[in-house]
Structure 1
Amino acid sequence: MNTTKLNPPTQKNRLITMILAMFLGIFGIDRFYLGKWKSGIAKGLTLGGLGIWWFIDGALLLMDAFLHSLGKDSGFVKDARGQDLRLGLSMYRLKDGRLQRDWFSS
């Protein structure tokens, strides 16, 4: 029996990832949340690549969240399974010329 059809993997939350990246990203916690534990260890041991890796990850996440709010479905940052993250910067997103609920959509 295939359990992935019964329990499909959930998308990681972009907003949680952004918060983790901003405040604890220098220790690689954002990478651990996304399931990327190898790069999380490397990022933590190098203190976020002496701040450079931390800054780049934060900038990419912020840009992803902004573009998602403007209707882009695929982002730069993915989780360990290669899935896109969900949620943008606002409660509503512009998609196909219409506003759609983002944060509280099912």
Structure 2
Amino acid sequence: MEKSSKSFVATLLFCIFLGYFSIHRFYVGKIGTAILQIITIGGFGIWLLIDLIMIIVQQFKDSEGKRITA
């Protein structure tokens, strides 16, 4: 799997501090799901928690399907 050019640390910090505004999804280019996440307030927190876990275990992918890794 190819590595993304997006920063792992930036994605993680965006998710932790601005996750309810879905900034981490906008950052990685997932605009459609970012808007859905905003409308549902982070999936009522569940979607946000899943994203956070996926980022920490380095399984979160950008809009091109590349993994965001440290």
Scaled by the length of structure 1, the TM-score of the pair is 0.59
Unaligned runs of 5+ in 2: none
Counterpart amino acid of 2:19?
A: G
Q: Which runs of 4+ in 1 moved over 4 A?
A: none
Higher strand share: 1
Question: After the TM superposition, which residues 36-55 of structure 1 pair with which residues of structure 2 at under 5 Å, given as runs?
Answer: 36-55=30-49
Structure 1 unaligned spans of 5+: 1-9, 65-75, 88-106
Aligned residues: 67
- The partner residue of 1:24 within 18, 25, 36 is 18
Are the equivalent residues in 1 in contact too, given 2:37–2:47 (CA < 8 A)?
yes
Shift of residue 83 of structure 1?
1.5
Percentage of pairs with the same residue:
36
Quick check: which has more Rg, 1 or 2? 1
Identify the residue that residue 13 of structure 1 maps to in structure 2.
7
Query: More helix per residue: 1 or 2?
Result: 2
Q: Which has the higher contact order (CA 8 A, sep 6+)?
A: 2
